Amino acid sequence: MTRPFRFAVNMLSPGSAAEWREKCRRAESLGYDVILAPDHLGMPAPFPSLVAAAEATERPRLGTFVLNAGLWNPALLAREVATTDQLTGGRLELGLGAGYVKEEHDRAGLPFGSPRERVDHLEHTVTELARLLGDPEHIPQPAQAPRPPLLLGGNGKRMLRLAARYADIAAFTGATTEPGALRLLSPAVIEERMAVYHEFAADRETPAELNYLSHVVAVDADRRATARKLGEYAPDLTEDELIEHPAVLAGSVKDIAEQVRGHRERYGFTYFTVLEPNMEAFARVMEELRP
């Protein structure tokens, strides 16, 4: 049975309390299923932002996309997660990642660590959260038992194994982060990463939901011209590879809806995230995709 689509918007820009609540109400009115908050220094703190979003809305789920595990102590994070889940009425979805911005660790006075060390810490955080939030003696208790749904994001082999083992939602960026630049992976490499993930997840009783972050949404724009603009982020990819890339959604509303359906068919993605600047444009596509 094909999983239905879900759509999320990742809110990026700070603002006043009134502006934040209005943006969240607008996302709800446009039909978004999830309102997300990132976890970067220089942006609003995610948990109070999500509590405020819950007060301003009724329907959307509320998530972190994604917390940098290296900035969090597991015991303190468990308290934040449980409290936020209670204050949002059980609408929280917890997104976690290993972290990739060394400058943020430096500013916070925290060690950055090697890729292996960062993934080790993420796994420790995931298992500790499960232990703490699953303990009936833990105070506070989350509203959702045994914990809010867990999203894990990444592309590396260890991250894929971790997501296959623990995540309710497995998130894919289709890109690697190099110093100072985002580098898109080719569609063929994304397929290969998905095959590795499914191999790791073969023994799961319940398949995870598969999420993809689409970086560009260009409604009524020329698809090839839009793809060419991303050339600096993908110097090794051909124009045709960029055109078929799930990071790039361009064309008419119907064209983009067909692209999204195609990515569901090819990769299995049913949960799509867009960035805040694309919130209004992608809402038109969501209408086309709704049953």
As a whole number of Å, the CA-based R_g of the chain is 18
Cα dihedral across residues 86, 88, 91, 95: positive or negative: negative
Tell me the pLDDT tens digit for each residue of 120-130: 999 999 999 99
Both structure tokens of 65? 């996309």
Tell me the pLDDT tens digit for each residue of 214-260: 999 999 999 999 988 888 788 889 999 999 999 999 999 999 999 99
Burial 186-222 (b: 16+ CB within 10 A, else e): bbeebeebbebbbebbeeeeeebbbbbbbbbbbbebe
pLDDT at 226: 94
Beta strands 181-184; 175-178: pairing state: antiparallel
Is the peptide bond prior to 66 cis by the omega test (within 30 degrees of 0)? yes
Tally: H helices and E strands in the chain: 11, 13
Segments in the chain below pLDDT 50: none
Q: Which helix (H) or strand (E) holds 250?
A: strand 248-251
pLDDT at 179: 61
pLDDT at 1: 67
How far apart are the C-alpha atoms of 279 and 30, rounded to whole Å?
8
* CATH topology for the 6-289 domain: TIM Barrel (3.20.20)
